[in-house]
C-alpha cells in the first residue's frame, strides 16, 4: 500500500480521478460504511458507498486504507502565520504596536510553504481556519485555506473569515499607561470603535458618488463586523468575560463566535440562550492564567447542553505553535464524546461553524474530494495517517 501511495503522490500533480477503498469509511454524513469506496472525479466527490454497489471506473487510480475519513477541518489555528522555528522571522500572528488592528489581513502574512502547514497536512488536516491570533484586544483578520498550494492565492478558500479579538488577561497591556489595562477598559474601547464603525458605514451609505469619506482601513474592517458581514471571533476563558462578550455582541447585533471558553461549564445556560457557537479550547491547552479551570470534558458538556461547537489546535505560545488535531479529538472522545461526535467536531461541525459546509466537512457527492486515510482507529495513539487527498490530489503519502 505504501508503494501505491508513493506512486500516487508522484502523479498527484495531475491525477484527479481517484478511488479510495476503506475497510471502514466514515462519511460524517451518515452511518459508517464497511468495505466502502469513495470516488473522486475532477477534484469532487462523485459517489460514496459499499464496494458491492460502487463500480470503480476504468482509469481511476485506486488507493486503499483500513479507515477513511473526511479531511479534517481545524476550526482555529495560527499555522502559516506562526512558524515551526519559533523565531522572530516566522512569528507573524500578533503585531503588538497597537491594541486594535482589525485591518491586518491574514492573507498578507500567510506562508503556505511553512513546514507546520506540511506537518498538519500529513496528519489529515486539509482545511485550516488560521490568521491573527490571541494576545491583544483585536489582532487582525483570519482566513480559511486548504493546506496545499505554493501561494496564498492558491490555498485560500475564504480570504477574510473573521476578525480576531481577545478578552481577559490576554488582552491586557502590561506596560503602565497603555490601554487596555482592565476588563472594563477593553469593553469600552471595543464599544467606542463599534459606534465609530456604525457612523462610518452610515456615512458611506448616504454619501453621493465621489463624495465618500476618506478611506479608513480600521473602520472598513469594523464596519463589516457591525453590519453583520463578518463574525467577531473572541478568545475568552473566564465566565465573566464570556458573559461580557455575549452582552457586547447583543448590544451591537454582532455575529459572535466564542473561542476557548475554559469556564463555559459555569455559564452553559447563558451560552445556549445566546445562540452563539463555540470553538472550544484545545484539550492540551496549558491550565494556567485565565484558563486555569480548563477541562478535558468541556466539549462533552457543550454537546450535552446542545451548544454548537468545534475543536481546534489553537495557539501554543511555545514551539511548535500548534497541536495535533486528531489527538485533540481523541482526548475529547475519551472524555464524554462518542467517536462520531468527536469526528464531527473536526469535520462537518467545524465546517458548519465556519460557513464552508457546502464544500468540505463530509464525504458527499459534489463536495471537495478531501479525505484522510489511516491504518487503524484515527483517535488511537498508535494509529498512523497513511495518506491525504485534497481535491482529488494526493498531497501526502508519508506514514505519520
Q: How many helices (H) and strands (E) does the chain have?
A: 11, 16
The owner of cell 485533540 is 328
Which ranges of the chain does DSSP label H, i.e. alpha helix?
2-11, 115-122, 152-155, 183-206, 217-226, 239-252, 268-274, 298-305, 325-333, 339-345, 348-354
Which are the contacts of 106, defined by CB distance < 8 A and separation ≥ 6?
81, 130, 131, 132, 140, 141, 142, 143, 159, 160, 161
Q: Is 352 exposed, middle or buried (0-12, 13-18, 19+ CB in 10 A)?
A: middle
Pair 260, 377 in one domain: no
Are 162 and 232 contacting, i.e. CB atoms less than 8 angstroms apart? yes
Structural domain including 28 reads: 2-70+363-396
Are 222 and 198 contacting, i.e. CB atoms less than 8 angstroms apart? no
Please calculate the CA angle 269-271-272 and round it to the nearest 5 degrees. 65
Are 290 and 170 contacting, i.e. CB atoms less than 8 angstroms apart? yes
The owner of cell 454582532 is 254
- Number of domains present in the structure of the chain: 2
Dist CA 296 CA 285 (whole Å) = 10
Are 139 and 149 contacting, i.e. CB atoms less than 8 angstroms apart? no
Evaluate the omega torsion of the peptide bond into residue 221 and state whether it is cis, within 30 degrees of 0: no
Q: What is the pLDDT, as a whole number, of residue 211?
A: 87
Q: What is the pLDDT, as a whole number, of residue 2?
A: 47
Residue 211 has φ and ψ, to the nearest 5°, of: -120, 25
Pair 235, 342 in one domain: yes
Residue 72 has φ and ψ, to the nearest 5°, of: -75, 145
- Residue 329's closest CA among 313, 308, 307, 306? 313
Residues with pLDDT less than 50, the chain? 1-13
What is the tens place of the pLDDT at every residue in 248-272?
Answer: 999 999 999 999 999 999 999 999 9
The owner of cell 491583544 is 136
Q: Indicate if the alpha-carbon torsion angle 245, 248, 250, 255 is positive or negative.
A: negative
Evaluate the omega torsion of the peptide bond into residue 320 and state whether it is cis, within 30 degrees of 0: yes
Pair 190, 328 in one domain: yes
Pair 11, 94 in one domain: no
Pair 117, 127 in one domain: yes
Pair 27, 114 in one domain: no
Pair 374, 326 in one domain: no
- Residue 217's closest CA among 192, 200, 199, 203? 200
The owner of cell 471595543 is 190
CATH number for 60: 2.30.40.10
Pair 193, 325 in one domain: yes
Pair 9, 114 in one domain: no
Q: What is the pLDDT, as a whole number, of residue 221?
A: 98
Pair 162, 283 in one domain: yes
CATH number for 241: 3.20.20.140
Q: What is the pLDDT, as a whole number, of residue 254?
A: 98
Pair 145, 220 in one domain: yes
Pair 29, 123 in one domain: no
Amino acid at each position: 500500500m505504501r508503494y501505491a501511495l508513493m506512486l500516487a503522490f508522484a502523479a498527484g500533480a495531475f491525477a484527479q480521478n481517484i478511488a479510495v477503498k476503506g475497510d471502514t469509511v466514515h462519511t460524517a454524513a451518515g452511518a459508517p460504511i464497511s468495505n466502502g469506496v469513495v470516488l473522486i472525479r475532477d477534484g469532487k466527490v462523485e459517489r460514496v458507498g459499499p464496494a458491492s454497489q460502487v463500480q470503480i471506473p476504468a482509469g481511476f487510480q485506486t488507493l486503499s486504507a483500513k479507515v477513511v475519513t473526511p479531511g479534517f477541518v481545524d476550526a482555529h489555528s495560527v499555522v502559516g502565520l506562526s512558524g515551526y522555528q519559533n523565531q522572530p522571522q516566522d512569528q507573524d500572528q500578533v503585531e503588538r504596536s497597537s491594541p486594535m488592528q482589525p485591518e491586518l489581513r491574514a492573507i498578507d502574512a500567510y506562508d503556505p510553504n511553512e513546514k507546520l502547514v506540511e506537518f498538519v497536512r500529513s496528519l489529515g488536516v486539509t482545511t485550516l481556519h488560521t490568521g491573527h491570533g490571541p494576545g491583544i484586544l483585536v489582532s487582525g483578520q483570519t482566513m480559511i485555506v486548504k493546506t496545499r498550494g505554493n501561494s496564498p492565492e492558491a490555498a485560500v478558500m475564504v480570504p477574510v473569515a473573521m476578525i480576531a479579538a481577545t478578552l481577559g488577561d490576554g488582552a491586557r497591556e502590561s506596560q503602565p499607561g497603555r490601554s487596555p489595562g482592565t476588563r472594563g477598559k477593553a469593553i469600552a474601547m471595543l464599544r467606542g470603535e463599534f459606534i465609530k464603525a456604525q457612523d462610518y458605514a452610515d456615512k458611506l451609505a448616504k454619501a453621493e458618488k465621489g463624495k465618500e469619506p476618506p478611506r479608513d482601513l480600521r473602520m472598513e474592517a469594523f464596519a463589516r463586523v457591525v453590519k453583520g458581514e463578518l463574525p467577531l471571533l473572541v478568545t475568552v476563558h473566564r465566565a465573566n468575560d464570556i458573559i461580557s462578550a455575549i452582552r457586547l455582541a447583543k448590544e451591537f447585533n454582532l455575529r459572535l463566535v466564542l473561542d476557548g471558553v475554559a469556564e463555559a461549564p459555569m455559564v452553559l445556560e447563558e451560552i445556549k440562550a445566546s445562540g452563539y457557537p463555540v470553538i472550544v479550547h484545545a484539550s492540551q491547552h496549558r491550565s494556567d492564567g485565565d484558563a486555569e479551570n480548563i477541562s478535558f470534558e468541556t466539549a462533552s458538556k457543550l454537546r450535552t447542553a446542545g451548544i454548537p461547537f468545534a475543536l481546534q489546535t489553537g495557539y501554543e505560545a511555545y514551539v511548535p505553535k500548534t497541536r495535533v488535531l486528531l489527538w485533540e479529538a481523541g482526548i475529547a472522545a475519551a472524555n464524554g464524546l462518542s467517536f462520531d461526535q468527536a469526528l464531527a467536531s473536526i469535520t462537518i461541525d467545524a465546517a458548519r461553524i465556519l460557513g464552508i459546509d457546502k464544500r468540505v466537512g463530509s464525504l458527499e457527492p459534489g463536495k471537495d474530494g478531501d479525505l484522510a486515510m489511516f491504518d487503524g482507529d484515527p483517535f488511537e495513539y498508535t494509529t498512523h495517517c497513511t495518506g491525504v487527498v485534497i481535491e482529488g490530489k494526493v498531497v501526502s503519502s508519508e506514514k505519520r
